Structure 1
Amino acid sequence: MSDGSASHPYVGLWITADGQIRHELLAGGRYDEARGVCEIAYRGRYEVTDNHIEYWDDTGFTADGDFIDGVLHHGGMLLYRR
């Protein structure tokens, strides 16, 4: 997120309907991704521009997604605000 504001509407927990994938978008532009029982599968930084999110994992992996009608579309998954 460009300004790192905690009041940004996308900061917080995003989760798939089955609960297996969880993205926690932290204030300040960092994120944690949990997968199943692994609480920190990936960790890195992110930026949101308008409704588009770019991820940079600490290992160098990159990904992106889009927020459409209150749903995060990322890597073929749908994540919902929790």
Structure 2
Amino acid sequence: MQQAPHPYVGMWVTEDGHVRHNLQPNGRYDEARGKRQSAYRGRYWVTGDHIDYVDDTGFTADGNFVDGVLHHGGMTLRRKDE
């Protein structure tokens, strides 16, 4: 049985568009920074409104979703309309 994607799946971007998090339905993420596509890749999981990241090198980070905004590493990212 396949689970429905989490409601936070999708593209999240900073206001200036420099940082872009693509939260994929398979539990993987791909982060672009500036012109550097796939600057960071790894796994993520969401518990309630909290997100934990582990990139493919083992680095960990986390963030929180508050009122439709992702707060992560001192940045605020908003969902990008596709």
TM-score, scaled relative to structure 2: 0.92
Match of 2:27 in 1: 29
Note the residue ranges of structure 2 that are not aligned, 5 or more in a row.
none
Query: Matched residue pairs, number?
Result: 79
Distance in 1 (alpha carbons) for counterparts of 2:7 and 2:45? 13
Q: What displacement does 1:4 show?
A: 5.9
Q: Which runs of 4+ in 1 moved over 3 A?
A: none
TM-score normalised according to structure 1 size: 0.92
Unaligned runs of 5+ in 1: none
Q: Which has the larger radius of gyration?
A: 2
Separation in structure 2 between the aligned mates of residue 4 and residue 29 of structure 1, nearest angstrom: 12
CA contact 1:4–1:28 (8 Å) conserved in 2: no
> Root-mean-square deviation (CA), in Å?
1.3
